[in-house]
Structure 1
Amino acid sequence: MSASSSEKVVVIYSGGMDSFTVLNKAINQGYEAYALSFNYGQRHLKELDYAQLACQKLGVKHKIIDISAINQLLAGSSLTDDIDIPEGHYEEESMKSTVVPNRNMILLSLAVGYAVSLEATKVYYGAHSGDHAIYPDCRPEFVQKMKDVCQIANYEAVDIVTPYLNDSKIDILTDGLKMGLDYSLTWTCYNGREKACGQCGACQERLEAFAENQATDPIPYES
């Protein structure tokens, strides 16, 4: 699929490897991509630093929006509150502590508003099958309902695009490596230390994806 270079899309861009791959996919499909990142009060902002660096290197227009005030309403996630980050595989029950209530509905709503203001036709985000077990707002039924409502929420219809909805992180990395992407421009770890911890669920899933692709992760790890 290709598009006119004048056709605009918004990409929700966290700075992680999934959204980095999604952003590059939109660019490679010929769209004029506008990356949109959010400070929603997450435990650290290192991923946003990586997002900014990647967009500079790609020459992509990029906004970082501070919506951290919503944390007064959205309590109980280890990504935003003073709750220990769980270690272990991503699908373990403990990883449910990383759920931020209603996060993707909020972020998608803001991104759709931005798309309408830009006269962009689509909003891309990086939901994938590995998220289905833990995050309700990454499941196909949620995506479909959001697609439906975003057709009628404004005078201008906006499509929600999830190119990897039914793919694993392993599959996403396979596609990204085929595109020749530089994953040193991404940050995945739930902790914001100098090096990735290698122990949290996000790190473990990332490392598994590189191992399954017989590739070496270019970012440094503590262990």
Structure 2
Amino acid sequence: MSKPTKAVVVFSGGQDSTTCLFWAKQKYEEVIALSFDYGQKHVKELECAKKICKKHGIEHHILDMALLNQLAPNSLTRADIEVDHEAPEEGTPNSFVDGRNMLFLTFAAVFAKQRNIHVLVTGVSQSDFSGYPDCRHVFISSLETTLTLAMDYEFEVITPLMWIDKKETWAMADRLGVFDIVRNETLTCYNGIMGDGCGECPACKLRKKGLDAYLAEKK
């Protein structure tokens, strides 16, 4: 395979995927953002994704993944399930959506192959995986092999954030010149509040901890 010039970015409109989107824009000649509507409670994240792509001239598609909500009840899609504020002693947090990253990357691969694109970019991180098994390097490596075998088409799944924490993710956004975009125009909060979020949910606490550490280091 010759040096790739195109990439599909799995794009939620949150901090990590937005950082990866602009990372990909600097690395590849053509970037397509792909978002998924899986019945998440806070449709605002899809609105954030649309606005960012429109503002920066990035081709953007949203795929309907409503079936995932029916199959895997979780606190991100069900109003009657409150988000775990602490990780359980055993098992995964109730904000974990079974099969989500596997399905998203699989559909992204099908989408990419139709456009002769070999590279998929996703913002998962083993350093900050919060107990989510589908954010681990071993899973990504395994899926990359499986997708290649399944479609007889060489895929490369790139994870720019895999080995860095939230502080380093903020540093990357700053180096890319998109610190303010990531801070003010993304939605990471499990309670659907843009920017710095609610400050109470696990996603906001992790994001703030990294931001505070980065800003302190910059002084």
Partner of 1:185: 185
* Counterpart selection for 2:75 from 73, 78, 88: 78
Query: Shift of residue 133 of structure 1?
Result: 4.4
Paired letter, 1:199: E
Paired letter, 1:113: V
SS of aligned partner of 2:25:
helix
Matched, 1:197 2:198: yes
* Aligned ranges 1:122-161 → 2 under 5 Å: 122-161=119-158
* Counterpart selection for 1:109 from 86, 106, 110: 106
Query: Shift of residue 157 of structure 1?
Result: 1.2
Aligned length: 207
Are the equivalent residues in 1 in contact too, given 2:187–2:194 (CA < 8 A)?
no
Partner of 2:171: 174
SS of aligned partner of 1:123:
strand
Provide runs of 4+ in structure 1 moved above 6 Å. Answer: none
SS of aligned partner of 1:54:
helix
**Distance in 2, Cα, partners of 1:194 & 1:114:** 29
**Distance in 2, Cα, partners of 1:145 & 1:30:** 24
**Distance in 2, Cα, partners of 1:194 & 1:185:** 7
SS of aligned partner of 1:11:
strand
TM-score by length of 1: 0.87
**Distance in 1, Cα, partners of 2:81 & 2:106:** 27
Paired letter, 1:107: F
* Counterpart selection for 1:43 from 36, 41, 44: 41
Query: Shift of residue 86 of structure 1?
Result: 2.6
Paired letter, 1:188: T
Q: How big is the alpha-carbon RMSD for the aligned residues of Structure 1 and Structure 2?
A: 1.8
TM-score by length of 2: 0.88
Paired letter, 2:209: E
Query: Shift of residue 152 of structure 1?
Result: 1.7
* Counterpart selection for 1:20 from 14, 18, 21: 18
Unaligned stretches of 5+ residues in structure 1 = 216-223
Paired letter, 1:32: E
Query: Shift of residue 204 of structure 1?
Result: 0.7
